[in-house]
Amino acid sequence: MERSTHMFRSVLRSLSSRVTVFQRSANSAFFCSRTAAMSLEDAKRCAAYKAVDEYVKDNTVVGVGSGSTVVYAVHRLAERVKAEGLKLVCVPTSFQARQLIIEHGLVLGDLECNPHLDCAIDGADEVDAKMVLIKGGGGCLLQEKIVAACADRMVVIADYTKDSIKLGQQYRKGIPIEVAPMAYVPIRNKIETQFGGSLKLRMAVAKAGPVVTDNGNFILDWSFVDEKEYDWDAVNRAIMMIPGVVDTGLFVGMATKAYFGQKDGTVTERSA
């Protein structure tokens, strides 16, 4: 009995050092307050809430990205729709995003009915100083790139671990490349010969064999050469020319704004 009371008190103590992450200000906007123990999840949430509050307006079409940070953006979209009566149409970038939109009671759109978006909000695996992104850690790069290309602006939401000067500084899993299954070996060989480094076929975790994307393709993760200075725009274009390559996780010249949630509850910004 004494032991469980002690455990309950220590859980309460640890929670109370962290709960004041969000407060509602007088004008009902949310902001992050600083606490001693901001977690990575708190940092993601701060960035996501700020982006949604600053970029999403009434009567607009919003692209909903994929991954763990986007979950917070969808929470905030749902909160604002409820509180402010915003009229939004949400276009998903993956099966995960589609489920999030439906679960939160948001209006689901698609590119057939909504080919023009006002803004796309998405996470990233890494963002460099020039706003070149690596995306596709969750295998959703193809639809993410298509949706972002249909939006007036692409806004990135991320925690501080995604913020880099140079690609590869933070994200060590390589650049994801979505490929037609039959072509993965010749594509792997061509990229290794032309640009160096090595490519690995991404394997599934709770399934035997490779990861199969929402589009029925495979993913190659390219560990490029750290010491080399790559022109990512040129590299992206060259890889896209290889038959069988469906798309790359290199997003060059697409994102206009990035929000990075920090350890101390602040959010830093970068613009293209």
Q: Which sequence positions are flagged as catalytic?
A: 144
- Distances from the Cα of 184 to the Cα of 143, 199, 232, angstroms: 20, 10, 21
Q: What is the closest distance, in whole angstroms, from the C-beta atom of residue 230 to ligand R5P in the complex?
A: 20
31-35 long-range Cβ contacts below 8 angstroms, 24+ apart: 32/261, 32/265, 32/266, 32/267, 33/265, 34/264, 34/265, 34/266, 35/265
Is 66 a binder of ligand R5P (CB under 6 A)?
yes
Per-position x/- string for 94-123, each x denoting binding to ligand R5P as judged by CB under 6 A, each - no binding: ----------------------------xx
Region from 9-17, 133-141, 200-208, 225-233 binding ligand R5P, contact rule CB under 6 A: 133-141
Is 215 a binder of ligand R5P (CB under 6 A)?
no
Is 92 a binder of ligand R5P (CB under 6 A)?
no
> N- to C-terminal Cα distance for the chain?
58
Q: Which of 92, 138, 168, 174 binds ligand R5P (CB under 6 A)?
A: 138
Signed CA dihedral, 137, 143, 149, 154: sign only: negative
Is 220 a binder of ligand R5P (CB under 6 A)?
no
Which residue(s) pair with 267 in the sheet?
A: 261
For residues 143-172, which are near ligand R5P according to CB under 6 A? Answer: 144
User: Nearer Cβ to ligand R5P, position 141 or 199?
Assistant: 141
Region from 12-20, 65-73, 98-106, 211-219 binding ligand R5P, contact rule CB under 6 A: 65-73
Strand arrangement, sheet containing 151-159: 88-92, 60-64, 117-122, 151-159, 255-261, 267-271
Cβ-closest residue to ligand R5P? Answer: 67
Is 45 a binder of ligand R5P (CB under 6 A)?
no
Is 261 a binder of ligand R5P (CB under 6 A)?
no
Is 125 a binder of ligand R5P (CB under 6 A)?
yes
Whether residue 133 contacts residue 154, with contact meaning beta carbons closer than 8 Å, is answered with: no
User: Nearer Cβ to ligand R5P, position 36 or 205?
Assistant: 205
Q: Which of 77, 140, 151, 220 binds ligand R5P (CB under 6 A)?
A: 140
What number of other Cβ atoms are within 10 A of residue 82's Cβ?
11
- Distances from the Cα of 171 to the Cα of 65, 137, 182, 247, angstroms: 19, 9, 28, 19
Is 178 a binder of ligand R5P (CB under 6 A)?
no
Q: Please, which residues have CB within 8 angstroms of residue 23's CB and are 6 or more apart in sequence?
A: 30, 31, 33
User: Nearer Cβ to ligand R5P, position 92 or 139?
Assistant: 139
| Angstrom distance (rounded) from CA 68 to CA 47 | 12
Q: What is the H or E stretch that residue 15 is in?
A: helix 2-16
User: Nearer Cβ to ligand R5P, position 177 or 190?
Assistant: 177
Is 174 a binder of ligand R5P (CB under 6 A)?
no
User: Nearer Cβ to ligand R5P, position 89 or 133?
Assistant: 133
Task: Write the single-letter amino acid at 101.
Answer: I
- The token pair at 137 is 């850690």
Which residues in this chain contact ligand R5P in the complex, by CB under 6 A? 65-69, 122-125, 135-141, 144
